Amino acid sequence: MNDSPADTDSNAYRGRFAPSPTGPLHAGSLVAALASFLDARHHHGQWHLRIDDIDPPRAVAGSIDAITEALVAHGLVWDGPILYQSHSSSNYDHALDRLISSGWLFRCLCTRATLDANGCCGQHCQNQDISLATPHSLRVKVAPERLAGFNDRFFGGQAAPAETALKDFIVKRRDGLYAYQLAAAIDDAKPHFTHIVRGADLLESTHRQRWLQQLLGLEQPAYAHVAVLLDPAGKKLSKQNGAPPLDKHQPEQNLRQCLQHLAQPAPPSSARRVPEMLDHATEHWSMRR
Protein backbone atom coordinates (compact mmCIF):
# COMPACT_ATOMS: atom_id res chain seq x y z
CA MET A 1 0.00 0.00 0.00
CA ASN A 2 1.16 3.56 -0.72
CA ASP A 3 0.70 4.71 2.85
CA SER A 4 3.13 7.08 4.41
CA PRO A 5 3.32 6.64 8.19
CA ALA A 6 1.45 9.93 8.65
CA ASP A 7 -1.36 8.60 6.48
CA THR A 8 -1.94 5.62 8.70
CA ASP A 9 -1.63 6.93 12.21
CA SER A 10 -4.18 4.54 13.62
CA ASN A 11 -5.27 6.81 16.46
CA ALA A 12 -6.07 9.57 14.04
CA TYR A 13 -7.84 7.59 11.34
CA ARG A 14 -11.43 8.72 10.72
CA GLY A 15 -13.05 7.34 7.60
CA ARG A 16 -16.55 7.41 6.21
CA PHE A 17 -19.05 6.04 3.77
CA ALA A 18 -21.25 8.79 2.34
CA PRO A 19 -24.21 7.55 0.33
CA SER A 20 -26.86 9.84 -1.10
CA PRO A 21 -30.40 8.78 -0.13
CA THR A 22 -31.42 8.19 -3.73
CA GLY A 23 -32.30 4.50 -3.45
CA PRO A 24 -31.21 1.25 -1.83
CA LEU A 25 -27.60 0.05 -1.83
CA HIS A 26 -26.50 -1.85 -4.93
CA ALA A 27 -23.37 -3.90 -5.54
CA GLY A 28 -21.41 -0.82 -6.68
CA SER A 29 -22.12 1.10 -3.51
CA LEU A 30 -21.29 -1.97 -1.41
CA VAL A 31 -17.80 -1.92 -2.97
CA ALA A 32 -17.27 1.68 -1.77
CA ALA A 33 -18.74 0.92 1.64
CA LEU A 34 -16.65 -2.21 2.09
CA ALA A 35 -13.40 -0.64 0.88
CA SER A 36 -13.77 2.36 3.21
CA PHE A 37 -14.76 0.09 6.10
CA LEU A 38 -11.85 -2.33 5.63
CA ASP A 39 -9.31 0.45 5.21
CA ALA A 40 -10.53 2.12 8.41
CA ARG A 41 -10.67 -1.08 10.44
CA HIS A 42 -7.32 -2.32 9.10
CA HIS A 43 -5.83 0.90 10.48
CA HIS A 44 -7.77 0.52 13.75
CA GLY A 45 -9.63 3.66 12.80
CA GLN A 46 -13.17 4.90 13.09
CA TRP A 47 -15.67 4.44 10.30
CA HIS A 48 -18.68 6.73 10.08
CA LEU A 49 -21.84 6.86 8.04
CA ARG A 50 -22.74 10.20 6.51
CA ILE A 51 -25.96 10.64 4.57
CA ASP A 52 -25.45 13.15 1.75
CA ASP A 53 -28.99 14.52 1.81
CA ILE A 54 -28.51 17.95 0.27
CA ASP A 55 -30.53 17.27 -2.88
CA PRO A 56 -34.15 16.75 -1.76
CA PRO A 57 -35.53 16.53 -5.32
CA ARG A 58 -33.42 13.40 -5.88
CA ALA A 59 -34.14 11.81 -2.51
CA VAL A 60 -36.15 8.60 -2.54
CA ALA A 61 -38.39 7.94 0.44
CA GLY A 62 -37.28 4.99 2.53
CA SER A 63 -33.73 4.89 1.17
CA ILE A 64 -31.99 5.80 4.42
CA ASP A 65 -33.61 2.83 6.15
CA ALA A 66 -32.86 0.60 3.18
CA ILE A 67 -29.20 1.70 3.18
CA THR A 68 -28.68 1.26 6.92
CA GLU A 69 -30.41 -2.14 6.94
CA ALA A 70 -28.27 -3.34 4.06
CA LEU A 71 -25.07 -2.12 5.74
CA VAL A 72 -25.97 -3.90 8.98
CA ALA A 73 -26.89 -7.09 7.09
CA HIS A 74 -23.37 -7.03 5.62
CA GLY A 75 -21.73 -6.46 9.01
CA LEU A 76 -20.75 -2.88 8.13
CA VAL A 77 -21.64 -1.20 11.39
CA TRP A 78 -20.58 2.42 11.72
CA ASP A 79 -19.24 4.30 14.73
CA GLY A 80 -21.26 6.98 16.49
CA PRO A 81 -24.47 8.60 15.31
CA ILE A 82 -25.36 8.86 11.63
CA LEU A 83 -24.24 12.23 10.22
CA TYR A 84 -26.48 14.21 7.85
CA GLN A 85 -25.26 16.86 5.44
CA SER A 86 -28.64 18.58 5.73
CA HIS A 87 -27.58 19.59 9.25
CA SER A 88 -24.54 21.47 7.98
CA SER A 89 -26.14 24.33 6.03
CA SER A 90 -24.64 26.99 8.26
CA ASN A 91 -21.13 25.63 7.57
CA TYR A 92 -21.80 25.76 3.83
CA ASP A 93 -23.17 29.32 4.05
CA HIS A 94 -20.18 30.40 6.07
CA ALA A 95 -17.84 28.91 3.45
CA LEU A 96 -19.74 30.64 0.63
CA ASP A 97 -19.46 33.95 2.47
CA ARG A 98 -15.72 33.48 2.79
CA LEU A 99 -15.36 32.64 -0.89
CA ILE A 100 -17.46 35.65 -1.90
CA SER A 101 -15.51 38.06 0.25
CA SER A 102 -12.21 36.75 -1.05
CA GLY A 103 -13.41 37.27 -4.63
CA TRP A 104 -13.44 33.67 -5.78
CA LEU A 105 -17.14 33.34 -6.62
CA PHE A 106 -19.15 34.73 -9.48
CA ARG A 107 -22.80 34.60 -10.50
CA CYS A 108 -23.44 32.53 -13.58
CA LEU A 109 -26.47 32.50 -15.90
CA CYS A 110 -25.37 29.52 -17.95
CA THR A 111 -27.77 26.74 -18.81
CA ARG A 112 -26.75 23.44 -20.34
CA ALA A 113 -26.91 25.10 -23.76
CA THR A 114 -24.35 27.79 -22.90
CA LEU A 115 -21.78 25.77 -20.94
CA ASP A 116 -18.50 24.98 -22.64
CA ALA A 117 -17.46 21.44 -23.52
CA ASN A 118 -16.04 20.91 -20.02
CA GLY A 119 -19.14 22.07 -18.20
CA CYS A 120 -17.53 25.42 -17.30
CA CYS A 121 -19.19 28.81 -17.80
CA GLY A 122 -19.31 29.38 -21.55
CA GLN A 123 -20.35 33.00 -21.79
CA HIS A 124 -17.98 34.98 -19.52
CA CYS A 125 -20.57 35.52 -16.79
CA GLN A 126 -17.86 36.66 -14.42
CA ASN A 127 -17.43 39.81 -16.51
CA GLN A 128 -21.15 40.60 -16.46
CA ASP A 129 -23.12 42.50 -13.90
CA ILE A 130 -25.71 39.93 -12.84
CA SER A 131 -28.18 41.11 -10.25
CA LEU A 132 -29.13 39.06 -7.22
CA ALA A 133 -32.71 39.00 -8.48
CA THR A 134 -31.79 37.16 -11.70
CA PRO A 135 -31.83 33.38 -11.28
CA HIS A 136 -28.18 32.30 -11.24
CA SER A 137 -25.81 29.70 -9.92
CA LEU A 138 -22.64 30.47 -7.99
CA ARG A 139 -19.39 29.26 -9.49
CA VAL A 140 -15.93 29.24 -8.02
CA LYS A 141 -13.01 30.32 -10.19
CA VAL A 142 -10.00 28.04 -10.49
CA ALA A 143 -6.46 29.38 -10.74
CA PRO A 144 -4.72 26.65 -12.74
CA GLU A 145 -1.24 27.66 -11.59
CA ARG A 146 -2.30 27.09 -7.99
CA LEU A 147 -4.13 23.82 -8.58
CA ALA A 148 -1.88 21.04 -7.30
CA GLY A 149 -2.05 17.36 -8.15
CA PHE A 150 -2.25 14.82 -5.35
CA ASN A 151 -1.12 11.35 -4.45
CA ASP A 152 -3.97 8.90 -4.45
CA ARG A 153 -3.18 6.11 -1.98
CA PHE A 154 -4.42 3.59 -4.53
CA PHE A 155 -4.01 5.07 -8.00
CA GLY A 156 -0.80 6.99 -7.22
CA GLY A 157 0.08 10.45 -8.58
CA GLN A 158 -2.82 12.44 -10.01
CA ALA A 159 -1.84 15.46 -12.09
CA ALA A 160 -4.00 18.56 -11.85
CA PRO A 161 -6.52 18.83 -14.72
CA ALA A 162 -5.55 20.91 -17.75
CA GLU A 163 -6.22 24.63 -17.48
CA THR A 164 -9.07 24.51 -20.00
CA ALA A 165 -10.75 21.53 -18.34
CA LEU A 166 -11.33 23.14 -14.96
CA LYS A 167 -11.80 26.88 -15.23
CA ASP A 168 -14.68 27.05 -12.76
CA PHE A 169 -17.43 24.88 -11.27
CA ILE A 170 -20.73 25.24 -9.43
CA VAL A 171 -20.80 25.54 -5.65
CA LYS A 172 -24.42 26.65 -5.31
CA ARG A 173 -27.02 25.68 -7.82
CA ARG A 174 -29.53 27.90 -9.56
CA ASP A 175 -32.30 26.20 -7.55
CA GLY A 176 -30.58 27.36 -4.35
CA LEU A 177 -29.23 23.95 -3.35
CA TYR A 178 -25.62 23.51 -2.26
CA ALA A 179 -23.52 21.65 -4.80
CA TYR A 180 -22.08 18.24 -3.90
CA GLN A 181 -18.54 19.59 -4.45
CA LEU A 182 -18.94 22.27 -1.80
CA ALA A 183 -20.59 20.05 0.79
CA ALA A 184 -18.14 17.19 0.29
CA ALA A 185 -15.09 19.49 0.36
CA ILE A 186 -16.12 20.88 3.72
CA ASP A 187 -17.42 17.72 5.36
CA ASP A 188 -14.52 15.53 4.20
CA ALA A 189 -11.79 17.87 5.43
CA LYS A 190 -9.89 17.27 8.65
CA PRO A 191 -10.76 17.03 11.48
CA HIS A 192 -14.08 15.54 10.30
CA PHE A 193 -12.26 12.86 8.33
CA THR A 194 -8.65 11.96 7.76
CA HIS A 195 -9.05 9.31 5.04
CA ILE A 196 -11.52 9.28 2.17
CA VAL A 197 -11.93 5.96 0.34
CA ARG A 198 -14.49 5.97 -2.49
CA GLY A 199 -15.13 5.03 -6.11
CA ALA A 200 -12.77 6.07 -8.87
CA ASP A 201 -15.66 7.78 -10.65
CA LEU A 202 -15.10 10.60 -8.14
CA LEU A 203 -11.39 11.14 -8.98
CA GLU A 204 -12.25 14.24 -11.02
CA SER A 205 -14.38 15.57 -8.19
CA THR A 206 -11.46 15.22 -5.82
CA HIS A 207 -9.54 17.91 -7.72
CA ARG A 208 -12.51 20.26 -7.29
CA GLN A 209 -12.94 19.42 -3.63
CA ARG A 210 -9.25 19.85 -2.88
CA TRP A 211 -9.32 23.22 -4.63
CA LEU A 212 -12.16 24.37 -2.36
CA GLN A 213 -10.35 23.02 0.70
CA GLN A 214 -7.28 24.99 -0.36
CA LEU A 215 -9.26 28.22 -0.81
CA LEU A 216 -11.03 27.73 2.52
CA GLY A 217 -7.82 26.91 4.38
CA LEU A 218 -9.09 23.45 5.30
CA GLU A 219 -6.72 20.59 6.03
CA GLN A 220 -6.97 17.97 3.34
CA PRO A 221 -7.60 14.30 4.10
CA ALA A 222 -5.75 11.48 2.33
CA TYR A 223 -7.68 10.17 -0.68
CA ALA A 224 -7.91 6.68 -2.13
CA HIS A 225 -10.18 5.73 -4.99
CA VAL A 226 -11.13 2.18 -5.79
CA ALA A 227 -12.17 0.75 -9.16
CA VAL A 228 -15.93 0.90 -9.64
CA LEU A 229 -18.11 -2.02 -10.63
CA LEU A 230 -19.26 -1.87 -14.22
CA ASP A 231 -22.41 -3.28 -15.76
CA PRO A 232 -22.15 -5.67 -18.75
CA ALA A 233 -22.22 -2.66 -21.09
CA GLY A 234 -19.15 -1.21 -19.34
CA LYS A 235 -21.03 1.58 -17.57
CA LYS A 236 -20.69 2.31 -13.86
CA LEU A 237 -23.30 0.44 -11.85
CA SER A 238 -25.56 3.08 -10.41
CA LYS A 239 -29.05 3.64 -9.15
CA GLN A 240 -29.62 5.94 -12.12
CA ASN A 241 -28.96 3.22 -14.65
CA GLY A 242 -31.04 0.67 -12.84
CA ALA A 243 -28.58 -1.37 -10.75
CA PRO A 244 -30.67 -3.84 -8.73
CA PRO A 245 -30.73 -3.47 -4.94
CA LEU A 246 -28.49 -5.82 -2.99
CA ASP A 247 -30.13 -9.01 -1.79
CA LYS A 248 -29.76 -8.65 2.00
CA HIS A 249 -30.39 -12.37 2.38
CA GLN A 250 -27.14 -13.38 0.77
CA PRO A 251 -24.59 -11.06 2.38
CA GLU A 252 -21.80 -13.65 2.28
CA GLN A 253 -22.08 -14.00 -1.47
CA ASN A 254 -22.24 -10.23 -1.94
CA LEU A 255 -19.18 -9.68 0.24
CA ARG A 256 -17.27 -12.41 -1.55
CA GLN A 257 -17.96 -10.76 -4.91
CA CYS A 258 -16.92 -7.33 -3.64
CA LEU A 259 -13.72 -8.70 -2.13
CA GLN A 260 -12.89 -10.33 -5.44
CA HIS A 261 -13.53 -7.07 -7.28
CA LEU A 262 -11.24 -5.27 -4.80
CA ALA A 263 -8.51 -7.87 -5.49
CA GLN A 264 -8.52 -9.06 -1.87
CA PRO A 265 -7.73 -12.65 -0.90
CA ALA A 266 -10.77 -14.92 -0.91
CA PRO A 267 -11.98 -15.70 2.60
CA PRO A 268 -10.85 -19.21 3.61
CA SER A 269 -13.39 -21.98 4.17
CA SER A 270 -13.15 -21.33 7.93
CA ALA A 271 -14.60 -17.84 7.32
CA ARG A 272 -18.05 -18.64 5.99
CA ARG A 273 -20.16 -16.16 7.92
CA VAL A 274 -20.16 -12.36 7.70
CA PRO A 275 -18.22 -11.55 10.93
CA GLU A 276 -15.44 -14.03 10.15
CA MET A 277 -15.27 -12.89 6.54
CA LEU A 278 -14.90 -9.27 7.62
CA ASP A 279 -12.29 -10.16 10.25
CA HIS A 280 -10.25 -12.00 7.66
CA ALA A 281 -10.66 -9.23 5.09
CA THR A 282 -9.72 -6.56 7.63
CA GLU A 283 -6.56 -8.37 8.61
CA HIS A 284 -5.49 -8.97 5.01
CA TRP A 285 -6.66 -5.66 3.54
CA SER A 286 -4.23 -4.17 1.10
CA MET A 287 -4.87 -1.72 -1.70
CA ARG A 288 -3.95 -3.22 -5.02
CA ARG A 289 -4.79 -2.55 -8.58
Q: Which residues bind ligand GLU (CB under 6 A)?
A: 18-20, 52, 184, 198, 202
Q: How far is the CB of 228 from ligand GLU (least distance, A)?
A: 11
Q: Which helix (H) or strand (E) holds 139?
A: strand 137-141
Nearer to ligand GLU, 107 or 207 (CB): 207
Q: How far is the CB of 52 from ligand GLU (least distance, A)?
A: 3
Q: Which strands form 105-108's sheet, in the order they lie side by side? A: 105-108, 137-141, 168-172
108 and 136 Cβ atoms separated by less than 8 Å: yes
Q: How far is the CB of 38 from ligand GLU (least distance, A)?
A: 15
Compute φ and ψ for 50, nearest 5 degrees: -120, 130
Q: How far is CA 196 from CA 39, 151, 211, in A?
A: 10, 12, 16
Q: How far is the CB of 199 from ligand GLU (least distance, A)?
A: 7
- Positive/negative CA dihedral, 105, 108, 110, 116: negative
52 and 283 Cβ atoms separated by less than 8 Å: no
Instruction: Residue 205: name the closest of 151, 178, 175, 166 by CA.
Output: 166
Nearer to ligand GLU, 121 or 220 (CB): 220
Nearer to ligand GLU, 183 or 255 (CB): 183
114 and 162 Cβ atoms separated by less than 8 Å: no
Nearer to ligand GLU, 12 or 203 (CB): 203
Q: How far is the CB of 103 from ligand GLU (least distance, A)?
A: 27
Nearer to ligand GLU, 54 or 99 (CB): 54
Nearer to ligand GLU, 152 or 277 (CB): 152
d(CA 259, CA 33): 11
Q: How far is the CB of 18 from ligand GLU (least distance, A)?
A: 4
d(CA 53, CA 50): 9
